[in-house]
Amino acid sequence: MLALEMFRSVPKTVIGKAVGGRIPMLLSGVAAPLRLVTLDPPRVDKAGWARLKVRLSGICGSDLGMLSGATSLYFSALVSLPFVPGHEVVAELLDDCEDLPAGTRVVVDPVLACAARGVEPCEACARGETNRCSRITVGDVSPGLQTGFCHDTGGGWSQQLVAHRSQLHAVPEGLSDEQALLVEPMACAVHTAVRAGVRSGDRVLVSGAGAVGLLATLALRHLTDAGEILVVAKHAHQRDLALELGATEVVTPQETLRRVRRSTGAFQLEPEFSQLSSGPYLLGGVDVALDAVGSKQSLETCLHATRAGGRVVLSGMPAAADLSAAWFRELDVVGTYASSRGDADGVGAFAKATELVAGDAVARLSKSVAVYPLHRWREALDHAHSTGRLGTVKVAFDPRSTS
């Protein structure tokens, strides 16, 4: 089968780490530790595992971070190389898998928790907090926090992979493949809305209007009693989508502090040496801010625009930032990673996400998904790196396509 494979390349990773963030083209250029190869389809000969034929697999910000070397080496102990990336997967079953017959169209919850690994549930899994599993490096398959980072399972950027019954969610008839592709990122957004801890009437800031920020906006609007939801967007098409998905107002990054100051009556302070400091900040501000980018600038905007005692949610894979405000303003800085089976009052994040992507707003959003065959991976990655500018929200591979 054809597959894109991420391989160990220390010098390339180091080069990527040094310049990846600043030179986007490098992502898909000579230094990218990715190659198109022909592999034997993966197999896991254990109960509950089945083969899947990929229909669509998305490119996520965390994939781009991994390929450009921007991702922290912290994660190197949680993957098994070489692996096939791709954790946003729409596929069809090639085998019967317990109650699901071959041919069923499914989406994959990528977290490789205790159930998939064939080990006794850890304390987190026993509580339904599968995204907090502590056994992600042991059991029936190699280390890997998720499908798409594990050598044995394969990933979505290929023609076939394997997944465990505990990871599979059947796709309802009425959903297009493009809508189904958004179920996994939507499930993460459902979990983010849980982690945001929003109380009735809270003012919320969402910094970033890529797929993560837009779907989080929808989840916050539908699953919480948030009052004003202010979304920070760089591009015009993101502005329209954010409003459609539930934003009260959309601002540019430059306008953000001024706008929050105006609506909350906060004071704005200007530290000395603005070039050297992390810039102006507020005393007062929103109740909850969500960094949906993972850049230093976006995270600092969140830290600087949140009232004392408020909450900052790390939704993008975070960059280093000046944490002075977190200390001085006693902010609750919380992470939000993947999604869990216990989310949405035990309904499960994937079930709730499947409901949400069926709505009109996401149906329209899904029409802008840009699809590439595997062999055009360099173009696909460059496109994914510039989705905001190019008017798309999600780029995906269709491994069935050869054109």
Q: Which residues bind Zn ion (CB under 5 A)?
A: 113-114, 122, 125, 133, 135
Q: Any idea which residue has 């050297």 for tokens? A: 276
Q: Which is nearer to Zn ion, 122 or 190 (CB)?
A: 122
Give the pairing of strands 370-372 and 395-397: parallel
* Distance of closest approach, residue 75 Cβ to Zn ion, in angstroms: 18
Q: Which is nearer to Zn ion, 113 or 161 (CB)?
A: 113
* Distance of closest approach, residue 145 Cβ to Zn ion, in angstroms: 12
Dihedral, CA of residue 171, residue 58, residue 128 and residue 220, to nearest 10: -90
* Distance of closest approach, residue 86 Cβ to Zn ion, in angstroms: 23
* Distance of closest approach, residue 134 Cβ to Zn ion, in angstroms: 6
Distances from the Cα of 207 to the Cαs of 52, 235, 246, 317, in angstroms? 36, 13, 14, 13
Q: Which is nearer to Zn ion, 149 or 372 (CB)?
A: 149
* Distance of closest approach, residue 142 Cβ to Zn ion, in angstroms: 16
How far is the C-alpha of 304 from the C-alpha of 69, rounded, in Å? Answer: 28
* Distance of closest approach, residue 133 Cβ to Zn ion, in angstroms: 3
Q: Which two tokens stand for residue 369?
A: 């998904």
Q: Which is nearer to Zn ion, 125 or 245 (CB)?
A: 125
Q: Which is nearer to Zn ion, 35 or 127 (CB)?
A: 127
Q: Which is nearer to Zn ion, 137 or 268 (CB)?
A: 137
* Distance of closest approach, residue 123 Cβ to Zn ion, in angstroms: 8
* Distance of closest approach, residue 337 Cβ to Zn ion, in angstroms: 14
* Distance of closest approach, residue 164 Cβ to Zn ion, in angstroms: 13
Q: Which is nearer to Zn ion, 159 or 340 (CB)?
A: 340
* Distance of closest approach, residue 335 Cβ to Zn ion, in angstroms: 17
Q: Which is nearer to Zn ion, 350 or 372 (CB)?
A: 350
Q: Which is nearer to Zn ion, 115 or 319 (CB)?
A: 115
Q: Which is nearer to Zn ion, 127 or 258 (CB)?
A: 127
Q: With helix as H, strand as E and coil as C, how does the chain read?
A: CEEEEECCCHHHHHHHHHHCCCCHHHHCCCCCCEEEEECCCCCCCCCCEEEEEEEEEECCHHHHHHHHCCCCHHHHHHCCCCECCCCEEEEEECCCECCECCCCEEEECCECCHHHHCCCCCHHHHCCCHHHCCCCCCCCCCCCCECCCCCCCCCCCECEEEEEHHHEEECCCCCCHHHHHCHHHHHHHHHHHHHCCCCCCCCEEEECCCHHHHHHHHHHHHHCCCCCEEEECCCHHHHHHHHHHCCCEEECHHHHHHHHHHHHCCEEECCCCCCCCCCCEEECCEEEEEECCCCHHHHHHHHHCEEEEEEEEECCCCCCCCCHHHHHCCCEEEECCCCCCCCCCCCCHHHHHHHHHCCHHHHHHHCCCEEECHHHHHHHHHHHHCHHHHCCCCEEECCCCCC
